[in-house]
Amino acid sequence: LSAVKIFRFNSKNMHLNHSLFTFIVLSPLAAAQVTIDDRTCGTAPAQQDYRGTLATTPSGRVCQYWTNQSPHAHSRLPENYPDKGLGHHNYCRNPDGEPNGPWCYTQDSAKRWEYCDVPDCGTVTNPTLPASAGEGEPVTSEEIAEMYTKTNGWCQNAASGDNIDMVYKDDTYTSDADGPSTCSNICSPFVDAPGYVGMQWRDVARGARCICFFDDGYVPTELLAGSVAQTGKTSVGPITGSGDATHYCYAYKGYMGAEGTERRSIYSDNASLDDYINFEVYGADLQVANVEKEYDQNQNHAEKTAPVFLNHTTIMTTGNTWSSYLLPETVDIHKDSVLQFSFMLEEDTVDGFQAVCLDEDREETGPNGKCFVLRSSQGWVSHMVNVPTQTNLDELSYHSIPVGEFFNGPVNYLVLIQDSDGQDRSLGRSSISDLKLISLENDLLEIEIDDVMDYLKNDQFSYTRDIGDAQDETDFWMSLSEDHTAVQMNGNQWKALPLNEPYYVTHSTVLELDIVVGQSVDFHAICLDFDLVATGDECIVVQSPIDYLDNFHHMTTKLETGVAKRLVIPFGSFIGLGGGDSVEVKYIAFVQDNDNTAKHDGRSTWSNLRLYDSERHNIKFSFFGETVEIPNIQYALSNNANDDQDSRDHIMSVPADGNTIVASGNSWKYVILPSTFTVTPATTLKFTFELFEETELHAICLLDSTHIKDSRNDCFFTAGVQDHDTSQGMKVSPYTEVGQEHTYEINVGSYFTGDVMYLGFIVDNDVGFTTGDVEKVYGQSSWSNIEIDSLPSLDIGLGSDTVAVENAQISYKSSSEDNTPIRDYMASISEDSSSINLVGNMWRALELPTPLSPTELGDFVVSFDFTLDEAGDIHGICFDENLSYGNADSPQNSESRRCVSTAYFHDKSDVLDVLLSDFQTRQSESHRYVLNLSKMFDKLYVNESGDPTPAPTPPPNLVHVGNNGSPGSAFPLKVCQGDCDNDNECSAGLECFQRGGFEMVPGCAGAGRSGSDYCYDPLRKETNIKYIAFINDNGADSSVGDSTYGNIAITTSLSSCLSGEDFDFQLSDCTIKKFLGEVEATMSNKADCTSTDPLLELFAIFDATQEMDVYSQIEKICTSAYKLDQYDFADNTLAIDDALERQLVKEYIDGGTVMNYEAEANSAVMIGKVNDKFATTRHFSMPKHHALDNCEMGAAMCCFVASRTNPDPADNSDVCYIDMKASRYTAHVRDGWSIYGDSSDDSIYCEGFAWGNDGGIASALKGNALFKVGFMDNFSGGKVEQVPGAPLCGCMDRMPVVTNAACTDVTDPTSVVDVHFDSAVGMFDASFTVGEITYGDCGGLNLVEHYESLVGVGKASAVDAAYMHKRVVGEVGCGVAINDFLSTKGLVMG
């Protein structure tokens, strides 16, 4: 058991009958609030006689009950240490004689025991009159009246025959008016001393004497100077003198009247009193003698057993007995007096009861006193106060009775009644222990209101459910704890306390409290109300065996009987208050409803109350690109229109940054959005979801009502173990598992369209998800970084304007061709709207905001950037009148081709339905396309008859006319009618468009019904361009393919701003990139040029169809300049000797001629002459040879297997394999291959050179590089002969796969190309001025490393660099290369 609180109540302003409060055992929460009597002490040194109520140690730890074995098990039990003060309490004691005094086990599991700080009583002696007596502040008449009773007679009754002692002092004052106060001051040190009786004063005429009276033997041993002691006086009679006032005795209260005579008889010698019980009265111990007197005449019976006093603490009563015990002194009962004790019932009576009384006399019907029934076997005892909670058999109860609420005034007797009126009047055995009378000075209930402590007066009013419906049991009152923090209810009670000031409840108002239900009844509730009538909204039921009470709100937090619980009640949310709403309340009411016959049943304690407006951080989220804040006002969301799905005591939490919402337990909540918005097909919802505890369902919703079951699919379920109802919403993938976090981006417009006013959150646990989860607290998830937005539109340049194309994606060609449903396979448009990315198999179209007629399209030149990160089968871009794919096999009867390929990986015959662009992008490459679609598209500007295109007709709207062939009159369906299941349900020539959600139907307008399918005309001619479409096709694996289209623009009027005037520029290197750069610079310096796009400028000048036409023209201009300076070393020098013939060079490259086979280099002397005369001053042209034609990657290599001058040449490489199909003209076989194995003996020498693929001076000097590597090295180093089956020198794809290759580079850094544009003829011409040609070793890099450096400066592509690695594989790369090659033949190397 835990510490006991003291309770009281006040009947002020209550129109009720008798009521009282008895004990309650509180939770450990209340243990620290035990009242400590610091006036109780122990006798040194061990203080084993201490019996006070100190229950905390100096460190602040609360003591453990001696009868408890937790948190510390021990043997210091009352039965093991009798008469040591142990018992069912947690007061400090010293049962085992610890030398340092009392101690206790602590309730701190980390600290077993500690000493207590108990005051030392010292040695008790007779009091000494202090020297300062009589010199204090004057005592007022009111203070004298508090201590003394003025009697007309004697201070000692001569008739009693008792002696009396006295101490007196003369000449103590000079004015008679000062007599009472002066004498009261002189006698004041003795008022609490044993034997003190009273005092008397005599006027100045009689010596100004002050007399202090004592019982015989109690006179002080030390006196004030000038005072006189007299002992053994038989009586003190009247004093004769000048005034009657001097004849009065001021008797100390308790020693007067008839009881005074009896009291003197019983308590004449306190020192010899040994049969008594201690009765602590207002902090002082009274020893009540075991002198029994019958209470209320003739109630006892002749054979009764006298009560027994045990251990000075307990009175045991057996059988029928009405016993009274005179108190040592008269005790005043005040308004705040509380009687405390323990009561044990060991045997019940028959037709009787047990009661305790405090009375002024021994008559129950006397003027002052009251009896309190603790147990009744005869029912209600009408003439006494019945304790609400009756003590049961073999039960120890702790009582705290606010006696001052029932009567006030002096009492002289403690009365115990055990009434047993059955046939056997000896039945009944009970005991009362640890009697205490205390005073509670402040009768208030403490409640913290808005962080300020307030104190409510204990003015209790009956509370009711309806006017005229008396719910409250007026015999019972709530009681307040001694520390003012708690109220306790016993029996059926509906009680309200008025607030000091009206309080205004808002949506964020919270009521917090601790509660323990000791005994459950019909229900327990707490209310905040304007008046004393509960209409329902004001009350929250916190415990009830009934699942639902009409008109009352219910906490899902369940209370276990006997277990303390802290409740946090979001009161404003419970009663449904919104932003700006408030309700005025004037009362806090406590309800313990018990409508059964046993009205006594029911016990609960409510403590530590707080009422405040909680700080709820605003919710922040992105709302169409703007960060908005909405008040954190949470409303209950429901499943159906009229159900109550939400557990309102579970409030979602929002941190200070407002970006996260955490829902716990069964929580169905919604908040109001800042404004209503309309979901369109492009609307998106993005959020990060984290799952901590999984329950039935977790969802986020975009709502137009306060319930979700409306078949609109506006809730999105991201986790849960229960299958959701499809009328509630949609499950989104992937489903989140416990401990996981996922970021979702949902195209909500693909599920529904329409208005949204609310944002909802669901953690569904409506049946208690885990075993024992009666409070439905299990389940937790969070939503953060919420964004409501539209999918980025795709910006398309149109002339000088930009058109934003809504991101409402439609399947192009057919839904079966496309990855569907589209919402799960969305093409991604960049946040800046400049590009669209397609991943996996996609045939995806976007509808232009306004169809574009041929007139509006004008020149219809489309430019865009294209990147291919992963190759599929076909990639392309389309501009189409409808959603039907062109068909080249039947051009007269079907669609014209409206798609242009950007990359294809089929034979050309497989892609006839698209127009093939001149440049097909390779994987991992990017390319900018410019396409003149007015030239490339057919049937765009005229119809099939050659006439001008007629104005378009508006498409019909989607109409739902039937389903499954019913009604029969509607089938077959006409164009744009539904719902069809297959093509057979459509009219001839129409097809059934199987769509998802509100996907657009080709050739039809409107949204139709979600999920319904409609008939459409696949060949419907649309005169105007309505759609832009993108192809990312891959049939074998629909997840493969990754392409991006960006910076799409349609030039409607293509013109040149430079063509009207001549202009010139000079290039250090005539490449496409530098040529375009100089054109752009020229445009920038010309005011007439509104655009600075050099590619479009040249597109106009050259009247190009595709960008490759422009690049081709630039290459021709540069090539023509370089060609004028080229020198053909093969035909002009090496072949002038007739003996060598003109085929010398060609045969040499294939590995023949005497230059490869003769032992001396005589036949190669001309190579040295060419080198000396021309190698540094002329550009050599590349020989015309099949091994050197079309080196697309811009690199070549020569490999030698022998040396004419060195039998052990310095070789640098090994051969892995030869694919003779690539070198078939050299090998003279159509196909074949040679495998050389994975050796590392450097059996050949290879050296190469690279010029990249951007043209320019490096390309112009590739003939010089060939001469240096393939010819000059032959002359100077003697290297000869090719690898069999391969040329001596050739493009990389025609050479053997080897492990290494050295590198040579040739440069001419001082050469220039002068370019001139002649406006008269609209043509460019160029001239070349050679500089100084130099040869190097590529800075020490090998061929592969040098090629990678070209990639870094934009002269080569990463794709080609990767291919280079496959041709020159490194020292340990042969094995992998050979296996990769053999796998293409269906073989594996053994």
Residue pLDDT, tens place only, 778-825: 899 999 999 999 999 999 999 989 999 999 999 998 777 888 888 889
Examine residue 328 and say whether the peptide bond preceding it is cis (omega within 30 degrees of 0).
no
What letter would DSSP give residue 101? -
Q: Which residues pair with 56 in a beta bridge?
A: 62
pLDDT of residue 156: 52
| Percent above pLDDT 90 for the chain | 46
Answer whether residue 239 shows pLDDT above 60. no
Distance (Å) of CA 1205 to CA 1134, 1157, 1273, 1276, 1284? 22, 12, 12, 10, 21
Q: pLDDT tier at 643 (50, 70, 90 boundaries)? A: confident
Beta bridge partners of 331: 411
Q: Residue 260 pLDDT more than 50?
A: yes
Between 164 and 376, the higher pLDDT residue: 376
Helix (H, G, I), strand (E, B) or coil at 83: coil
Instruction: Classify 933 as helix, strand or coil.
Output: helix
Residue 945 banded pLDDT, cuts 50, 70, 90: very low
Question: Token match 């229950």: residue?
Answer: 55
Nearest Cα to 327, choosing from 296, 291, 294?
291
Q: How confident is the model at residue 436 (pLDDT cuts 50, 70, 90)?
A: very high
Percent of the chain with pLDDT over 70: 85
- Check residue 1077 and give its pLDDT: 95
- Give the DSSP H or E segment for 264: helix 257-266
Distance CA 181, CA 198 (A): 13
Mean pLDDT of 1214-1236: 91
Cβ proximity of 1245 and 1283 under 8 Å: no
Written as six digits, the tokens of 934 are: 């007015």
> What was the pLDDT predicted at 381?
85
Place of tokens 């329409």: 754
- Average pLDDT rounded to a whole number, residues 451-461: 90
pLDDT tens figures, 1107-1142: 999 999 999 999 999 988 888 877 665 554 544 545
In a 3-state reduction of DSSP, which class is residue 398?
strand
Q: Report the range of poorest mean pLDDT among 218-222, 1202-1206, 1311-1315.
A: 218-222
* pLDDT greater than 70 at residue 255: no
Whether the upstream peptide bond of residue 71 has omega within 30° of 0, thus cis, is: yes
pLDDT score recorded for residue 329: 86
The total of other beta-carbon atoms located within 10 Å of residue 1150's CB is 24
- Of 3-7, 144-148, 914-918, give the range with the top mean pLDDT: 914-918
DSSP classification of residue 784:
E
Report the pLDDT averaged over residues 57-63.
91
Which phi and psi (to 5°) does residue 409 adopt?
130, -175
Residues whose CB falls within 8 Å of the CB of residue 468, separated by 6 or more in sequence, listed in order: none
Q: Is 1085 exposed, middle or buried (0-12, 13-18, 19+ CB in 10 A)?
A: exposed
- Confidence (pLDDT) at 888: 46
Round to whole Å and give the CA distance between 655 and 664: 14
Residues 1271, 1188 contacting (CB under 8 angstroms): no
In degrees, rounded to 5, the angle at the alpha carbon of residue 1182 between the alpha carbons of residues 1178 and 1188 is 160
- Residue 940 has φ and ψ, to the nearest 5°, of -90, -40
Mean per-residue pLDDT, 227-256:
59
Task: Please state whether beta strands 1014-1016 and 284-289 pair in parallel, antiparallel, or not at all (unpaired).
Answer: unpaired
Mean of per-residue pLDDT scores for the chain: 84
User: Residue 1325 is encoded by which pair of tokens?
Assistant: 């011409």
Total H helices, total E strands in the chain:
20, 80
The answer on pLDDT for 245 being more than 50 is no
CA distance 387 to 345: 15
Q: Are 472 and 462 in contact (CB under 8 A)?
A: yes
Residue 455 C-beta-side C-alpha neighbours within 13 Å: 8
> Taking every pair of C-alpha atoms in the chain, what is the biggest distance, in angstroms?
179
Instruction: Give every CB contact of residue 1028 below 8 A, 6+ residues apart in sequence.
Output: 794, 796, 805, 845, 846, 848, 877, 878, 879, 1048
Q: Which range among 96-100, 168-172, 972-976, 1044-1048 has the greatest average pLDDT? A: 1044-1048
Helix H or strand E encompassing 211: strand 210-215
- The reported pLDDT for the residue numbered 99 is 84
Which range has highest mean pLDDT (90-99, 576-585, 1008-1017, 1067-1076)?
Answer: 1067-1076
Token duo for residue 333: 């009962």
| For residues 921-935, average pLDDT | 93
What is the tens place of the pLDDT at every residue in 692-720?
999 999 999 999 999 998 878 899 999 99
Sorting pLDDT into bands at 50, 70 and 90, what band is 321?
A: very high
Among 743-747, 855-859, 886-890, whose mean pLDDT is lowest?
886-890
Q: CA–CA separation, 156 vs 216, rounded Å? A: 11
CB 295 within 8 Å of CB 417: yes
* Residue 756 Cα distances to 678, 788, 971, angstroms: 6, 11, 37
Task: Using the predicted structure, report yes or no on whether residue 85 has a pLDDT greater than 80.
Answer: yes
Q: What angle do CA 69, 70, 76 make, to 5 degrees?
A: 35
Tens of pLDDT, residues 758-780: 999 999 987 655 655 566 788 99
DSSP state of 64: P
Collapsing DSSP to helix, strand or coil, 1055 comes out as: coil
Measured from the Cβ of residue 122, the count of other Cβ atoms closer than 10 Å reads: 9
Residue 147 pLDDT > 70, yes or no?
no
Query: What pLDDT does residue 694 have?
Result: 93
Confidence check: pLDDT of 685 > 80:
yes
The DSSP code sequence of 893-910 is TSPPP-EEEEEE-S-GGG
Structure tokens at 1084: 């920038």
